[in-house]
């Protein structure tokens, strides 16, 4: 089906109408609020009559721009320009060519998370731009996009969406508040700003909204930001849904059905001298429905030789192999699950040592570098899974992980600067948190999709 229509709420219709007259348009909102659908539609309308041949979509990386803007759950730019758009290259950069009302237009696809990303679009004169997850992008990139549109004055159109963060986050101070001040001084300045929640998303039924709300703990920072769309400081416990209800997530080893596990992985985080190495093992049930943390172990790093560390790792994996990898099928046949290990990529020498030790011990495993996705994405994933009651910990064998999740807190000094940063000063066991996160971070999208 092509050119799928989309319904808009009264608030969204007002934002769209204002975007026809305003050069800067920013939509803030929580989870499933429909920000991308609204801004993608507004972007397409502006692109139809763009005064510049070169235009832009961007996100924290190119993949985010494509998913949030081009695809946008079927309501994005690809849908709007169906039959009039093709992918290609523009001066060596990934781009899309569009047959707009005023002729051919090109859309460059860019990432904006790193300070070096600003140079990617330097030198271009851009009239219509859309930056998704704009407050996750680097300030220099945001500034570069704005300056690239100066030549077109009031004919330019810049669209941005963002999720709530701390009230004093740099994007609020340097972008939103700055342009709100100008709009207050001059009603014709051209700044269009609004906030939306999932209640404004006309594609969500009341039943769907209720099912989403059940997965998020009321009063948590996730509730305030993702549901209410409010800017809130990240303070206190990082894993409050778990820490406040620990017993709800624990399962007795003797009562756990080991045959329900279909995938097993081990996470390894390295500790320096005076710190600790950590191992965490997790299992998935069918279709990523549940995440079961099977065991966690701390190995004191001080005075430990590499060979002694490798031996500890081999013993840990052998134990997991023995306890969880051999399954008996209903027809009487046996299968053995293979363990994947994801280790902190900072220590390649140690990783290679693990591979050698594993081969010598005939372990049924493969060892990879951890993906090391952004820490806050990993924290949000665990809190989401806890909110959906899809996480369990084997009570007897995960004491160190229980303690780590119960004590991890946000850095109050960073919070004063508007940043969400997990405190890492030795007062809590961040190493075990990292190791656990390494086992699930590669499956973030799959785990989210099953919620």
pLDDT of residue 99: 98
10-200 and 240-449 agree in CATH topology: no
Calpha distance 389→216 (Å, rounded): 10
Calpha distance 100→250 (Å, rounded): 57
Query: Which CB contacts under 8 angstroms, 24+ apart, belong to 374-379?
Result: 375/422, 375/437, 376/420, 376/422, 377/441, 377/444, 378/437, 378/440, 378/441, 378/444, 379/238, 379/239, 379/422, 379/437
Q: Give the residue extent of every domain in the chain.
A: 10-200, 240-449
Calpha distance 150→388 (Å, rounded): 46
Structure tokens that stand for 70 in this block: 């081009």
With contact defined as beta carbons under 8 Å apart, do 32 and 204 qualify? yes
Calpha distance 328→349 (Å, rounded): 37
Calpha distance 369→352 (Å, rounded): 11
The count of other CB atoms within 10 Å of the CB of residue 160 is: 27
pLDDT of residue 139: 97
Q: Is the model's pLDDT at 295 over the cut of 80?
A: yes
Q: In 3-state terms, what secondary structure has residue 292?
A: strand
DSSP category for residue 245: T
Quote the distance between the C-alpha of residue 223 and its chain's center.
16
Q: What is the pLDDT of residues 3-37, one digit of tens each?
A: 677 889 999 999 999 999 999 999 999 989 999 99
Listed residue (225, 275, 148, 258) closest to 380, CA to CA:
225
Arithmetic mean of pLDDT over the chain: 93
Listed residue (241, 248, 254) closest to 397, CA to CA:
254
Banded model confidence at residue 1, pLDDT cuts 50, 70, 90: very low
Domain range 240-449, its CATH number among 1.10.3210.50, 3.10.20.600, 3.40.50.300, 3.30.420.280:
3.30.420.280
Calpha distance 182→189 (Å, rounded): 7
Structure tokens that stand for 238 in this block: 């990082």
Assigned CATH for 10-200 = 3.40.50.300
Q: What is the pLDDT of residues 309-327, one digit of tens each?
A: 999 999 999 999 999 998 8
Q: In 3-state terms, what secondary structure has residue 251?
A: strand
pLDDT of residue 8: 93
Calpha distance 288→286 (Å, rounded): 6
Kindly tell me the burial class for residue 117, based on how many C-beta atoms sit within 10 Å of its own C-beta (0-12, 13-18, 19 or more): buried
Mean pLDDT of 404-430: 92
Calpha distance 304→276 (Å, rounded): 10
Listed residue (450, 55, 89, 445) closest to 285, CA to CA:
450
With contact defined as beta carbons under 8 Å apart, do 144 and 118 qualify? yes
Q: pTM of this prediction?
A: 0.74
pLDDT of residue 416: 84
Structure tokens that stand for 436 in this block: 């656990």
Q: What is the pLDDT of residues 247-281, one digit of tens each?
A: 999 999 999 999 999 999 999 999 865 579 999 99
Q: What is the pLDDT of residues 385-407, one digit of tens each?
A: 998 899 999 999 999 999 999 99
Q: Is the model's pLDDT at 122 over the cut of 90?
A: yes
Q: CA-based diameter of the chain, in Å?
A: 78
């Amino acid at each position: 089906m092509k050119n799928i229509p989309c319904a808009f709420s009264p608030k969204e219709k007002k934002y769209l109408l204002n975007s026809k007259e305003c050069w800067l348009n920013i939509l803030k909102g929580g989870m499933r609020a429909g920000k991308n659908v609204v801004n993608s539609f507004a972007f397409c309308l502006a692109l139809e009559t763009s005064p510049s041949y070169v235009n832009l979509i961007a996100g924290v990386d190119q993949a985010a721009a494509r998913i949030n803007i081009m695809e946008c759950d079927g309501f994005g730019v690809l849908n709007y320009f169906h039959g009039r758009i093709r992918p290609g290259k523009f001066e060596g950069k990934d781009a899309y060519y569009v047959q707009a009302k005023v002729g051919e237009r090109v859309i460059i696809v860019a990432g904006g998370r790193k300070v070096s990303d600003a140079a990617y679009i330097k030198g271009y004169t851009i009239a219509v731009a859309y930056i998704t997850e704009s407050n996750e992008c680097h300030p220099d990139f945001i500034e570069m996009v704005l300056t690239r549109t100066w030549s077109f004055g009031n004919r330019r159109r810049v669209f941005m969406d963002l999720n709530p963060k701390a009230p004093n986050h740099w994007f609020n101070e340097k972008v939103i508040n700055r342009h709100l001040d100008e709009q207050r001084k001059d009603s014709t300045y051209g700044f269009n700003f609004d906030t939306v929640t999932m209640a404004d998303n006309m594609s969500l039924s009341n039943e769907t909204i209720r099912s989403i709300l059940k997965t998020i703990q009321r009063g948590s920072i996730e509730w305030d930001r993702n549901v209410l769309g409010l800017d809130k400081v990240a303070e206190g416990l990082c894993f409050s849904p778990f820490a406040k209800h620990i017993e709800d997530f624990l399962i007795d080893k003797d009562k756990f059905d080991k045959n329900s596990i279909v995938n097993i992985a081990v996470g390894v985080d390295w500790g320096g001298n005076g710190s600790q190495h950590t191992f965490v093992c997790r299992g998935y049930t069918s279709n990523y429905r549940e995440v079961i943390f099977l065991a966690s172990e701390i190995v004191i790093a001080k005075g430990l030789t590499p060979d002694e560390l490798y031996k500890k790792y081999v013993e840990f994996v052998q134990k997991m192999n023995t306890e969880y990898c051999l399954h008996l099928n209903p027809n009487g046949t046996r299968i053995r699950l293979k363990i994947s290990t994801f280790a902190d990529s900072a220590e390649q020498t140690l990783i290679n040592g693990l591979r050698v030790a594993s081969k010598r011990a005939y372990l049924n495993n493969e060892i990879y570098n951890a993906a090391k996705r952004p820490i806050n994405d990993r924290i949000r994933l665990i809190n989401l899974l806890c909110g959906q009651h899809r996480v369990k910990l084997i009570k007897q064998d995960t004491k160190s992980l229980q303690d780590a999740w119960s004590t991890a807190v946000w850095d109050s000094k960073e919070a004063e600067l508007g940043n969400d940063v997990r405190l890492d000063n030795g007062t809590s066991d961040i190493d075990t948190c990292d190791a656990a996160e390494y086992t699930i971070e590669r499956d973030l999208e799959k785990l989210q999709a099953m919620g």
